[in-house]
Each structure stands twice: as C-alpha cells, then as structure tokens.
Structure 1
Amino acid sequence: MGEIVNVVVAVAVIVLVVRWAASSGKDASGAPSPSSVLGFRPRNVTNEMVDAVHNMFPDIPKDNIRFDLLRTGDTQLTSTKILERGFLPAPPPAYYTIYPRSADTPAPAQPAATPAAGPSKPKQPANLLTRYHLESRAASTGVSVAASPEQAGGKAVWEDTAEKREASLRERKAQMILAARERMRAQREKETARTV
C-alpha cells in the first residue's frame, strides 16, 4: 500500500511540473509572455522614453528604438548606441507579435501633411544631372570614356577670388559627373554586347 501512495504522489508531482512548465510561457490571458517571445526580460518602457530618443534621432524608426529600450531600459544608453553605430538594428519578427507595428505615419511624411508645421524641404532631384542642371551638357558631352576622375575634373588651380574658386569647383564637379556617366554608359554597352 505504501508503494501505491508513492506512485500516486510521483504522478501528481509530474503532472504539476508539466502543467507549470507548459503554462510558464503564457500569461493569464493565454498569450505568450514577452520574455519567452523576445528571449530576454523586457524593461518597462514608456512612450515618453521612445519619443525622447526619437526626437533626438528622427531618422531611426520608433520600433527600433522601443526594441532597444526594452533591452536596456535607459534612454541614455540607447542614444549612445545610436551615436556610436549610427543606427539601431531592426527588431526581430517575434517583436511584432507582442508590440504590433504602430499605426503612425512615418516621420518624414508628417511635415508634408501639416503645412502649418513650417516650411518643408524641397524635394531632392532624382539624379545628379538634374541636381547640378547638366541635362543640356549630357546630350552633347565630349568627355573621353577612359578619362580618370583626375583627368575628368581637371587640375585644380588656385583662383584669386572665392567666386572664381567656386565656379572652378562647380565646373570640375560637372566634368566628373559627365565623365562618370560616360563610363557607366560604356560599361552598360559592353555588358549588353556580351549578353547578345
């Protein structure tokens, strides 16, 4: 009879341990706990903490900031990481099961949507030709394809006035852009000739 009691107690203990182990990854609502999904115990992060870092670094997505703050719990440490690396890694896909993507519009689109926010930046041209107004010169370029960047830009000569130096620099930039365009065009022609 003593052995039967021992077996019943052992089975009860095993059942309790299995139930405890199976439910430790879930909270009371049945959803997985953040620590089991993320692989670390997340710190308490407020929206003010995320906004403080995002205001300093508006080009970093809020989800990246929140994920790093969940790890560190410190806005200063997260800011230091951004300054040292220049970026924050994107959160893993499991992060979005617990913290769904924010429905906010991206930060760059907000100033364009609100005209009262101040003057918006003019849109950058799509390529270097339009940026430096070289469309007319691109059609009638006479730059040698084999020209090196030094030959394409010409030799720098120290001019007497700042205006002449600026004009010289502008002209050398234009020559280098046109030479690079010609080299790219020649390279594409070689590649198409190989494939044909």
Structure 2
Amino acid sequence: MGEVVNVIVAVAVIVFIVRWATSGKDESSGPSPSSVLGFKPRNVTIEMVETVHNMFPDIPSDNIRYDLLRTGNVQQTTNTILERGFLPAPPPAYYTIYPRAVDQVPAANQPNAANVDATTSHAKSRAESLISRYNLQERVAVSSGISSATPEEACGKTVWEDSAEKREANLRERKARMILAARERLLAQQAGQASTSS
C-alpha cells in the first residue's frame, strides 16, 4: 500500500513540474500575434510592402503592412486603396508586435497642419496630372454638380454600342466623368478638412 502512494505522489510531482515548465515558456514568449490582432496574420515580406508603397507613396508603411497581414495579397491591398483612397490605420496593439516603420517617425514629429498641407498639395498635383493626361482642362470648370453623384451616377449607364469606335468613345466619356467626379469629391473633402482644422 505504501508503494502505491509513493507512485501516485511521484506521478503528481512529475505532472506538476512538466506543466510548470511548459507554462513558463509560453508566458516568456509573449502573446501570440493572432490573439493581439484578432486574426491570423499572413506572411508579409518587405518586398510586398515596398511594392505597394512605391505605387502609393502617400500611404504610410504601417497601414500597408497591417492590410497585407490581413489579406496576404498585394493586388487585394492595391484594390482597397484604389476603391477607398486610403487604408485604415492599424490598432495600437499592432505596434506591440510590429515596431513602427522608420518613415513614420519624422511624420509623427511634424505638426498636423503641415502633414495636411503636404498631402493636399500632393493630391492636387496628382489630380492635375490626371486631368492633363486625359485633356480635361476645359471640362474642369464645368464639372461642378457631379460631386454629389455616386460613382455609378457620375459615369452614366452602360450601353452596349454597335461599333468598336462608339464603344471606345463611350468608355472615354465615362472615364472623363469618373475623373471629374473624383476631383470634385477630393476638393469637397479637402475643403471640409480645411474648415474643421481652422
């Protein structure tokens, strides 16, 4: 009977030591990225972040990396930027696992109004170059009133034309309307930001 008690105590001590040793390793490694972020992060390489950042230099690298961690796909992240015009900022918990990108540190030290002015001037130069690319300078003055329309309303209904020339002309017109509508929305957004900042 005494030997059975000794074996049970020995097994209990061994189980306790094994649990204590394995739980200590888990606590020292910190929380897992999936528990902090709320999703299982995908593998993201520096090249993926740089590819998107080269296409959209005004989007912060941390926002790009956070979206790539969710999607794992450069094309999907690029489509999100093209559809929304921005990428949401990562939550504060993101910075506990992934340190801030180097290019974001100077931007955080600058005043907020300077960042808005730099972004506004960069967006204006991009919009002007797009307008000059499609020769829409004369239509810019006439484009007021499109800003309240949705993108579908701004580009008009799609009608299948009989000839390729008519289809191409229809596509050019729809592109022009979409560019002008996007310009109007950008100007309205910038005016709203300027009124709230002052």
Q: Shorter-chain-normalised TM-score: which range? A: 0.3 to 0.5
Return the structure number with greater relative CO, CA threshold 8 A, min gap 6.
Answer: 2
TM-score normalised by the chain length of structure 2: 0.44
Q: Which has the higher helix share?
A: 2
TM-score normalised by the chain length of structure 1: 0.44
